Structure 1
């Protein structure tokens, strides 16, 4: 692992740890986050990890750019790609998988030759790692989806995707925390509150968490407070 430090302004350094997306990157990424928290102390403003990089924001009134860079260089000296076991909390998200709220389920059936039950079982049948948060507050980029479900983003994004929509793009999956535009393939909907201003930390999911989706019935979805408003299929959106 050959990390590179890139200046990201008067109060930040970008640590480029890896060149390719890989689940095996996560232990080193999270280890570096913990090292930064300990080494920077009160001078640390924020850490923004992603698939391959870590953005380190610091207080320029407490540290100069050179001092911050020197700290990071020291933290990277003996950082090994596999130095720590996979950690993170395990979070379970209930999902109502149904064409009414997951209009791309039919598209996946057609492209894969799988039945509706098989598509759902493949998506809900494995554990996903949260690699990054971005796009919108609380939007977690997770991977990796079973290769049989790999599907490109929609050619024309929807102007409105309901909150809680569970979706995939390529071999990534996520759930929309709030109503927003979006071009991912919708598979279902979760009643979980993914972003809450009243919650400590705001986002239900954090980088490094492991996430499991579990299929529930419409009745259970409604009992948990889910919104059953349907989403138009892709053909109707494009027309």
Structure 2
């Protein structure tokens, strides 16, 4: 019964992924490829819409999701503690539905599909985490969702902060410049925690990539706020240092384990 359920979930997940690719081809668009449609924006949101990562990252995410699908097929008849299909459950399908809604110009704010996608990916991310996982499991199950959630968390920070600011601007005492700093601060904190708690450098590298691109764009602007420049650079340095420190600690741990054998 368990194998039959896993096989059914595998078929559903692969069909959902193929449907997303077909939608992307037919609509000639990317998921949540939204520009700045808010009345009030921030420096981060204005430049964020122009970053090349918006397009390039999906050429990475889609192959990674296919990698997960292939891994599902190979594991569909296996059980044990490394059960990616059972851990993912229906949440991959739910995330696919949320993404598909972003392809259609419905009379619906894209914030809601984005929130559904964010929540489903957070649940997926937490469910697939496993200590002492095999290399195959790390590559086939953890790695794809690390990159995927790393990117969607940045998109969500941008959209949610803009939504709150535009909806409650009359009650919010800070300026657009502060809104940019809040967005940057949230991105840095989220990516730092990914490394600190889960040792997830892939998640954090998506954040580093975004911040580096943003910093370079900002540096080309003649009227750039130097405070935003400095905060962005500090965030990049913090994340890179956290990644390097994690790698050094992990390398030392592996060396000690090998020495004790």
| TM tier relative to shorter chain | under 0.3
Under a length normalisation based on structure 1, what TM-score does the superposition of the two structures give? 0.21
Under a length normalisation based on structure 2, what TM-score does the superposition of the two structures give? 0.20
Give 1 or 2: higher strand fraction: 1
Give 1 or 2: higher helix fraction: 2
